[in-house]
A and B are shown apart, each in its own frame.
Chain A
């Protein structure tokens, strides 16, 4: 029997809805709800987590992330320019760097900073330098590719116009191309920031004091002392307080630049 295409699509949709309802029912009946409420929504534990949750943990997460992002952005820009350079060794260095740092877990980079780097160079970084360098080194590898794509997306005519007005290659890059590239890549860069926010949880591995706790470490500390699992929920929500607005910002910027790109001549 042949169903029309539209009919088949409708039945398929109903089947999907049915499956969702079924899953919801199973969860509702099998879950022990009073236990769940007690475990995850224990208001007393929530109360204990304040105010340090905000004044220490959230604050540190944001500081580590911003430091890492700023350094990563600068290094990423440098790598992007190297990758676009006409000097072959620059391109090789940039490619090797990017492939390496995208290929290894961020955790390993943090480990290197606790053990290997101090051993090899006889220097000890404080917590902020470690966060900045370790997060930045990883972030730069991702951002470099994004920035390179942005630079290449700037129409060639823009550079030609700049050069024909007497600007040097470098001058045209700095005053004309890079500002336009950053408008194009603002949405993906915001996504990088979200990734780094989550990666900042890896800082615990270098060994941190109580004032240096970021959200995840702070939550784990509470978890070990708390009879409930509430800290997990609280910490999760705290991350969302940062990442949801960033995600919204990213989509907003994308819509805006999407509208713009069409009119670029």
Chain B
């Protein structure tokens, strides 16, 4: 297995006349945490969704876990089992209990037995601190609990890489910490992660690399301390000023 987990070259994606991703090159090494930041509409979600082909690219090449997803003959369902995805709106299956949310794909896709799937599911629920909620319905959980269950659901497939699309944006502020805690723990365990986020503190502390996107391009990338702490591009500086201190934009508040 190679050092490189995700390799994107010359990626282009349009929705009709709207060019959302113009020419993206990105490499994610195994075990690395890459945070993607950028203004609304810059194409962050689209980029992430291209990595498991929820969006079909219009050009370029995407290789994940040594499988080229842009190859027309690829078995995409099989490739996706190795790519975990966590959505802003959780998307737990609302008609299934929490545990069945974690076992349904294990059984139907990976063909694991009921008992094995449940064991793996319970182990992952324990990892995110939700073992006692195994038999609850998703609607009975708080947003933070739902998101942790969604993370556990993705982990139950034993993915090689996890994609997070603003996993804490839909949460009440006091619930954000629990979810970030679980993600931090995952990073410490060596999971390869691609995270779209507005949580700059998290990006600073956990990310090996931070990417700033704007207008369909990667404008700046590098270690978190550099991109967030000492941005080189004007657009990055403007964006960070707005995100880190939404009320005053002045240079009187150094980042």
Contacts and interface: CB of A to CB of B under 8 A. Distances in A.
Interface of A: 155, 157-158, 160-168, 171, 175-176, 179-180, 183, 260, 263-265
Contacts of B93: 158, 161-162, 176, 180
A124 B91 CA distance: 51
Give the residue among B95, B138, B139 with the most A Cβ atoms within 10 A.
Answer: B95
Contacts of A180: 93-95
B108 A175 contact: yes
A152 B109 CA distance: 24
Interface string B51-81: 0101000000000000000000000011011
A157 B91 contact: yes
A183 B77 contact: no
Given A157-B89, A180-B93, 5 more contacts: A157-B87, A164-B154, A167-B77, A175-B108, A265-B94
Interface of B: 52, 54, 77-78, 80-81, 83-85, 87, 89-95, 104-105, 108-110, 138-139, 146, 150, 153-154, 157
Contacts of A175: 104, 108
A171 B106 CA distance: 13
Lowest 8 CB-CB distances: which A-B pairs, in order? A166-B81, A165-B105, A161-B91, A164-B85, A157-B91, A166-B109, A166-B80, A263-B139
Contacts of A176: 93, 95, 104
Contacts of B109: 165-167, 171
Nearest to B153: A165
Contacts of B139: 260, 263-264
Nearest to B138: A265
Contact of B108 (A155, A158, A171): A171
A167 B105 contact: yes
Give the residue among B52, B93, B94, B146 with the most A Cβ atoms within 10 A.
Answer: B94
Contacts of A260: 139
A166 B146 contact: no
A166 B77 contact: yes
Contact of B87 (A161, A167, A168, A264): A161
28 contacts: A155-B91, A157-B91, A158-B94, A160-B85, A160-B87, A160-B91, A161-B85, A161-B87, A161-B91, A162-B93, A162-B105, A164-B52, A164-B54, A164-B154, A165-B81, A165-B104, A165-B105, A166-B77, A166-B109, A166-B157, A171-B109, A175-B108, A179-B95, A180-B94, A180-B95, A264-B94, A264-B139, A265-B91
Contacts of A165: 80-81, 104-105, 109, 153-154, 157
A265 B88 CA distance: 10
A163 B87 CA distance: 13
Contacts of A161: 85, 87, 91-93, 150
Give the residue among A161, A167, A180, A264 with the most B Cβ atoms within 10 A.
Answer: A161
Contact of B77 (A155, A160, A168, A264): A168
Give the residue among A160, A165, A180, A263 with the most B Cβ atoms within 10 A.
Answer: A165
B91 A183 contact: no
A183 B54 contact: no
Contact of B80 (A157, A158, A163): A163
A265 B85 CA distance: 17
A167 B104 CA distance: 10
Give the residue among B54, B77, B80, B154 with the most A Cβ atoms within 10 A.
Answer: B77
Contacts of B83: 164
A157 B138 CA distance: 14
Give the residue among B104, B110, B153 with the most A Cβ atoms within 10 A.
Answer: B104
A166 B91 contact: no
Nearest to B88: A157
Nearest to A260: B139
Contact of B146 (A158, A168, A265): A265
